[in-house]
Structure 1
């Protein structure tokens, strides 16, 4: 298929996936922080902050498993088939989430969010599809544009939640389900059939034997995982808990959180549109500098007043977009021989694992002060920046190649 149609379809799938995934972020904090008890924020008599943290954790747990296996499965059974299955499955998950909210069933809500996360693990499949079909600077730019579409989904999801929440708590999730089904139909028409390749075996055996964590047997990929985990712990701690910080510090409601998110995701989307260009500086050096800027932005939220925190939230989108574009293109160039689906799956899985780690940490730290989890995230991102700097000098591989191709 032609390159522009491939890129447009990939970006649309990314937009629809994260639009649905980001819907709960402005909806849940006011719901669980509400003074009026309901079956969601007082389930089994547990503290609302603990229930909120578990609600945040369960979707990334599904994403963790999905991202770990979807890339390798696409290496074996084909990218197109996995894209269609995951899009339809995520739509079903949103329908179940809507039903859980309508019934105020906390267990069903957790089950629906887990299943949705499992099916939303298609990002490594789409990234591998782009890396398979494109080369050089066009591939780097396409990966950055795909990231921009993901960021734009994080804008549209909360914004749609803020606009439609007055129609009912379940309405945004029904809209997301319908959009994903339309996206699956478009992908069915637009994406070429691809041949299954790679290791022979059933879906279950490939998922068990070829999951992304198998790459950790290689020393360099273990180091990439450790550094990426530290950085993404800072990012996910910020994503998960800045809405709660807005509620506690600024008394924001769902619409207020959505507006702040518009600023953040707007900056990320615009930055991603230009972040994939060539550079004379090696990728690890640039990634280190971007990680320092991200750490500073998160620290502004944790340590500043409301206005400095708001500035930090919006500014965060700029270096984070450039970091993502740089590290993904570099990883594709450096480790592509291990299977692009698996490598992209490892990066995405690391992000999901970080979500779980920070949700668990937040479940404890927010019982004392929400700012503690933000400070922890800032410190971890700063450590990642330092470790990338050390890796750059110790690494004998030609790190400049990916930047100048």
Structure 2
């Protein structure tokens, strides 16, 4: 079967898989600050809680990426979804017992096994190239956006059924996705498929190189830096937006769920309808640069919002910026990876984002609590400007590595 036909058959299923998984993630993410606060935590505790997930993800994601290169995308997705079911059940237990340590254990387990999105992106890279890859990454991002749109809305309503209800709903979503992968998904990794029918020995994929060698590649290093800066400014929302909405505008949990639902809706529209057509006309690096500038303006808007309507405008602008950025980052990372290193490169890139997710919540939580809410969002705005600046280096690096015409 040729690549376009394989992509057409595979993509809807991958989109459904990340959609179900991100519905679960979206259910609990906006409510995490409220859960931590109910258990006696502060804004700094929220930062540490989010950072614990990211720290575990930072250590595990490159290994999961390499495992998907060696053993296949399907097996990594199965492990990630199965562990997420267990993590959400731990979350429900923590909520019912008001046990902060169990909440931390749940988030760390989820972070240590969160390799499914990277594996889905690598599966797309296995069967798509060029503009089709960017389009497919955009569709995958739309599945993520739809999940992040519906998840917070479901979580806000489920919270009225009891404290354990949101994570139990999240566990159910991950379980449905797991069953779908086990029943329907076929392997896409060419190295694993190439070993089928041979002697069955597990060997490293041809062309596999060390993580150090990958990180030394200037293109991959530049994309990693771009991932870091992007996720650094993105964590401002995860850490401080729910707190700001409650403190400044007296919004409740269900209203905060609606707020993140709006964010997911805008992201969905951008990724499903705009990324593909725009990527055919504008270079991805230029798009990511412009999105960083837009995100900087959006966070400044939220920082100084005197009324909730201004905060909503900033949120819509931020969702537009991230809707453009996220699928293009994955497309850039896979573009610079060789066929045998798709999972490893995407894993390293995701790990750079995880490092930002570990640092960002601690940073923004401390600034929010000890300086001011406004300062936390202004810090995120500065980080967004930094992401735009990194694209200049990426452009220079890209030009420097191209052969010079004779």
- Counterpart in 1 of 2:255? 256
- Counterpart in 1 of 2:122? 128
Which of these residues, 25, 29, 33, is aligned with residue 25 of structure 1?
29
CA contact (8 A) 1:69 1:211 kept: no
- Counterpart in 1 of 2:315? 313
The gaps in structure 1 that reach 5 residues or longer are: 35-39, 43-47, 400-405
Provide the C-alpha distance between the structure 2 equivalents of 1:338 and 1:9, rounded to a whole number of angstroms.
23
- Counterpart in 1 of 2:398? 395
Which of these residues, 319, 322, 325, is aligned with residue 324 of structure 2?
322
- Counterpart in 2 of 1:276? 276
Provide the C-alpha distance between the structure 2 equivalents of 1:64 and 1:340, rounded to a whole number of angstroms.
18
Offset at residue 212 of structure 1 (A): 5.6
CA contact (8 A) 2:44 2:362 kept: no
- Find the residue that maps to 1:120 and give its secondary structure: coil
Cα 1:336/1:321, change in 2 over 3 Å = farther
Query: Once superposed, which parts of structure 1, at least 4 consecutive aligned residues long, lie more than 6 Å away?
Result: 197-203
Cα 1:338/1:284, change in 2 over 3 Å = farther
1:138-168 CA-partner distances (Å, limit 9, x unpaired): 3221111111111222222211111111111
Cα 1:394/1:221, change in 2 over 3 Å = closer
Offset at residue 213 of structure 1 (A): 6.6
Alignment of 1:344-355 (within 5 A): 344-355=346-357
Cα 1:371/1:317, change in 2 over 3 Å = same
CA contact (8 A) 2:222 2:393 kept: no
Cα 1:57/1:198, change in 2 over 3 Å = farther
TM-score scaled by length of structure 2: 0.87
Alignment of 1:4-403 (within 5 A): 4-33=8-37, 40-41=39-40, 48-193=42-187, 196=192, 215-274=214-273, 275-277=275-277, 278-306=279-307, 307-336=309-338, 339-368=341-370, 369-393=372-396, 395-396=398-399
CA contact (8 A) 1:291 1:385 kept: yes
Offset at residue 103 of structure 1 (A): 1.0
- Find the residue that maps to 1:143 and give its secondary structure: helix
State the number of aligned residues: 386
CA contact (8 A) 2:137 2:328 kept: no
1:49-76 CA-partner distances (Å, limit 9, x unpaired): 2222222222222322332221111000
Offset at residue 191 of structure 1 (A): 1.2
Provide the C-alpha distance between the structure 2 equivalents of 1:128 and 1:241, rounded to a whole number of angstroms.
32
CA-atom RMSD in angstroms: 2.7
- Find the residue that maps to 1:23 and give its secondary structure: helix
CA contact (8 A) 2:30 2:238 kept: no
Moved more, 101-110 or 360-369: 360-369
CA contact (8 A) 2:223 2:329 kept: no
Offset at residue 115 of structure 1 (A): 0.4
- Find the residue that maps to 2:31 and give its secondary structure: helix
The gaps in structure 2 that reach 5 residues or longer are: none
Provide the C-alpha distance between the structure 2 equivalents of 1:227 and 1:262, rounded to a whole number of angstroms.
26
TM-score scaled by length of structure 1: 0.87
CA contact (8 A) 2:125 2:334 kept: yes
Offset at residue 337 of structure 1 (A): 5.1
Provide the C-alpha distance between the structure 2 equivalents of 1:355 and 1:143, rounded to a whole number of angstroms.
22
Provide the C-alpha distance between the structure 2 equivalents of 1:213 and 1:149, rounded to a whole number of angstroms.
32
CA contact (8 A) 2:219 2:336 kept: no
Cα 1:244/1:130, change in 2 over 3 Å = same
